[in-house]
């Protein structure tokens, strides 16, 4: 029996709430290290900035890893979580000129009692835990409002 999670299962129980803070994770097709390329990673960052400018989401923290994205964000007014993420994914894929992202994404609705700065530190420390750099400041593709 195949116990692999399916992208359709990722949507089970998903709800959208304006103003809710979410930690989102999405991966590249076949976990290819697309964003090991500096310009490709900057393209995704630009798409996150564009989502903020359009008031789709306020970015609290993010890290673009070689094969995935972690995005701590607050959903903007009159927006849908899936549409917001699919917008970032589709625009970045079009700009990069190829299918980049695996279908679906994982979301975690952050509870009020969770420590947001600690969650942001966890997100931006991902490259250190992955052994890509010895210190967060040495990795070029991250940001957090608390820094």
Tokens 């607050």 map to which residue? 74
Cite the DSSP H helix spans in the chain.
7-10, 38-53, 81-96, 116-124, 126-129
Rg (CA), the chain: 15
CA angle, 42 then 29 then 50, to 5° = 30
pLDDT of the residue at 47: 98
Whole-model pTM over 0.85: yes
Q: What is the pLDDT along the chain (147 residues), one digit of tens a residue?
A: 444 444 444 445 567 888 999 999 999 999 999 999 999 999 999 999 999 999 999 999 999 999 999 999 999 998 899 999 999 999 999 999 999 999 999 999 999 899 999 999 999 999 999 999 999 999 999 999 987
All domains in the chain, ordered by first residue:
16-117+124-137 (3.30.70.1290)
**Nearest to residue 68, comparing CAs of 127, 26, 120?**
26
pLDDT of the residue at 17: 86
């Amino acid at each position: 029996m195949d116990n692999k999670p399916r992208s359709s299962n990722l949507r089970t129980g998903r709800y959208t709430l304006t103003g809710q803070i979410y930690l989102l994770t999405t991966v590249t097709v076949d976990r290819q290290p697309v964003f090991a390329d500096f310009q490709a990673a900057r393209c995704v960052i630009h798409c996150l900035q564009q989502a903020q400018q359009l008031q789709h989401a306020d970015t609290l923290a993010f890290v673009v890893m070689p094969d995935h994205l972690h995005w701590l964000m607050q959903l903007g007014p009159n927006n849908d979580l899936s549409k917001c993420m699919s917008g970032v994914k589709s625009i970045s894929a079009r700009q990069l000129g190829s299918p980049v992202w695996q279908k679906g994404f994982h979301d975690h609705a952050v509870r009020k009692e969770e420590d947001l700065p600690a969650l942001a530190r966890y997100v931006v420390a991902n490259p250190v835990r992955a052994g890509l750099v010895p210190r967060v400041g040495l990795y070029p593709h991250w940001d957090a409002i608390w820094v």
